[in-house]
Amino acid sequence: MGYCFCELGLYEKALYYLDIVWYVDNIAYKSEYVNCLVNKKDFRSFSVVTSEIKRISEIEHPNAESSGRYERYYQFLKRRIVYLYVEKDKLDEAEIILKDMLDKKQDEDFALNELAYIQQIRNQ
């Protein structure tokens, strides 16, 4: 239900359901919860994303499969934190993360596009 409400832009209703599954260690649930918070511009967004980035960076991965899954989630969280920094007009902080993301092939396009967007903002 949370997924559906989020897709419809009904973030309050989505969060009702996504709050229930937030504590389950399921990356898909956590990703949807984070997306919903960020899209809603919820005041908890920044603290949830930063705490998740910290938590994921401290997890030891027992095998390559779980390592890959957590790496994708970690990169997703970094994209979300960049979005939040840009929204808060903290362009320098966003730029630091984006420059770090240029080293990862899967994030290179995103980082280049966001760096160009930040440059546009600064030129206005």
Beta-carbon contacts of 57 under 8 Å, excluding residues fewer than 6 positions away, are 74
And the tokens for 39? 């899209």
And the tokens for 46? 């920044």
Q: Which pLDDT band, with edges at 50, 70 and 90, does 45 fall under?
A: very high
Q: Between 99 and 67, where is the model more confident? A: 99
Are 24 and 46 a contacting pair, CB within 8 Å? no
- Per-residue pLDDT of 53-71, as tens digits, reads 999 988 876 666 667 888 8
Q: Which long-range contacts (CB under 8 A, 24 or more apart) does 36-39 make?
A: 36/2, 36/6, 36/11, 38/80, 38/83, 38/84, 39/6, 39/9, 39/11
The reported pLDDT for the residue numbered 7 is 92
The reported pLDDT for the residue numbered 111 is 95
And the tokens for 81? 């934190």
The reported pLDDT for the residue numbered 67 is 76
And the tokens for 11? 């973030």
Round the average pLDDT of the chain to a whole number and report it. 92
Taking alpha carbons only, the member of 112, 124, 114 closest to residue 91 is 114
Q: What is the mean pLDDT of residues 15-22?
A: 94
Q: Between 73 and 59, where is the model more confident? A: 73
